[in-house]
Amino acid sequence: MKKAVVLLSGGLDSATVLAIARSQGYACYALSVDYGQRHWAELAASKKVADALGAIEHKVIHIDLAAFGGSALTDSNIAVPLKETEGIPLTYVPARNTIMLSIALAWAEVLQAGDIFFGVNAVDYSGYPDCRPEYVAAFEQLANLATKAGVEGRRLNIHAPLQFMSKAEIISKGVGLGVDFSMTVSCYQADESGHACGLCDSCRLRRAGFEVAGIQDVTKYKQ
């Protein structure tokens, strides 16, 4: 069985990605990153999702990006925007995807896995630069130059299977693969029991996605 490292945030998208990787026959090593985000509900969800979807192993790696701040997700002095805003929103965490992919790359090399999956999306998304297709392609190129695997001709592939899907399509795909979305947490400021605010960008995208997909949304929104 081919091995893959799957970045798992505990949200809706990455749960679907794990299910996709499993459906393609990969032995999946789930990786979550505790980067100093506002809440732990998402990381608690990632553990449940990894178990439920048959990951071989689940690791949580800690790195304190709150030491730098600069984002509503890592600095409690910056409020999470509750309305749509122009441009790249305050919830953008500088270099987050690059850091998470780099950590995934480290584990992939040690496991001798040739595949890394992650759940970025460039359709129903918050406009983060590190979710765009050209970014994913550049990281794949880098990965093959950065590693012993790449030098020795064992190609590393970065898979972003949700890249061109709408949120509704992602939800339908996940349901079709047996993902229990009630385990997942998307909200940028969920409380400790995983209740969602219902107002942030991530909640808005999630709620609208279920509606368009015509699938019941069991998320517990506060508003």
| Binding-site ranges for a copy of itself (CB under 8 A) | 59, 61-65, 67-70, 88, 92-99, 102-103, 105-110, 129-130, 132, 134-135, 138-139, 141-143, 145-148, 150-151
E strand intervals along 13-154:
27-34, 57-62, 115-117
Extract the tokens encoding 117: 């999956």
3-class secondary structure, 182: helix
Which residue number, 89 or 161, has a Cβ lying nearer to a copy of itself? 89
Smallest separation, CB 117 to a copy of itself (Å): 16
Extract the tokens encoding 6: 């799957």
Smallest separation, CB 67 to a copy of itself (Å): 6
- Residue 110 has phi, psi (to 5 degrees) of -65, -40
Smallest separation, CB 79 to a copy of itself (Å): 17
Which residue number, 83 or 148, has a Cβ lying nearer to a copy of itself? 148
Contacts of 145 (CB under 8 A, 6+ apart): none
Beta 57-62 vs 115-117: how paired, if at all? unpaired
Which residue number, 12 or 50, has a Cβ lying nearer to a copy of itself? 50
Smallest separation, CB 18 to a copy of itself (Å): 19
Which residue number, 43 or 179, has a Cβ lying nearer to a copy of itself? 43
Which residue number, 106 or 215, has a Cβ lying nearer to a copy of itself? 106
In this structure, which amino acid lies at residue 118?
F
Extract the tokens encoding 48: 């449940």
Given a contact cutoff of 8 angstroms between Cβ atoms, the answer to whether 17 and 117 are in contact is yes
Look at the alpha carbons of 87, 73, 116, 51 in this order and tell me if their dihedral is positive or negative. negative
Smallest separation, CB 74 to a copy of itself (Å): 9
Which residue number, 68 or 164, has a Cβ lying nearer to a copy of itself? 68
Give CA angle at 92 (87, 97), nearest 5°.
125
In this structure, which amino acid lies at residue 67?
A
Smallest separation, CB 210 to a copy of itself (Å): 30
